[in-house]
Amino acid sequence: MTVHQARTWVDTDGVWTIEVPSLTSPAPDGTSVPATGAATSWSGVESSARDLIAAWIDAEPGDVQVEVHVVVPDIVIELWHEGHDLEEQARRDLDRAARIRRHAASLARDAGYPSGATALALGISQQRVAQLAPGRRGRSGAGG
């Protein structure tokens, strides 16, 4: 069974326009015009598309398979992708920041600073020092 592709978008009046690009008819000027329909709400788009296709190909709506693609303004997609890219960069930055902080705590501990002194110097708790530099001991081993 053929799966028909339908495109839809909401108009300024709140009505959803539906187009099926694979089903066309010639316009008076010879250009192709896609099958076009409408739905009064988002929840009615798929059934309206199915009804439109069924009428166009002379089939029962229950025998029609449709895949609906929502068309949004280009700016929506651009902003979505920009936000995605920024999130990915932020994750990379957070990973790098975590590695740097672990390294800083490890350097302090390896240089002989006990966890209490390291915590005070870095403005964190001794428990956080233990998380950042597990198993590290200062050279003196005292005041851990």
| Side-chain-side CA neighbours of residue 144 (13 Å) | 10
Q: What is the pTM of this model?
A: 0.68
**The pLDDT value given to residue 143:** 47
Q: Is the pLDDT of residue 137 over 90?
A: no
Q: Is the pLDDT of residue 39 over 80?
A: yes
- Euclidean distance between CA atoms 54 and 61, whole angstroms: 5
**The pLDDT value given to residue 62:** 92
The closest alpha carbon to 13, from 39, 33, 47, belongs to: 39
- Yes or no: say if 19 and 53 are a contact pair by the CB < 8 Å rule: no
**The pLDDT value given to residue 102:** 97
Give the model confidence (pLDDT) of 111-129 as tens digits.
999 999 999 999 999 999 9
Reported confidence tier of residue 138, pLDDT bands at 50, 70, 90: low
**The pLDDT value given to residue 136:** 67
**The pLDDT value given to residue 90:** 98
| Alpha-carbon separation of residue 101 from 59, 78, 94, 96, 117 (angstroms) | 65, 34, 10, 9, 16
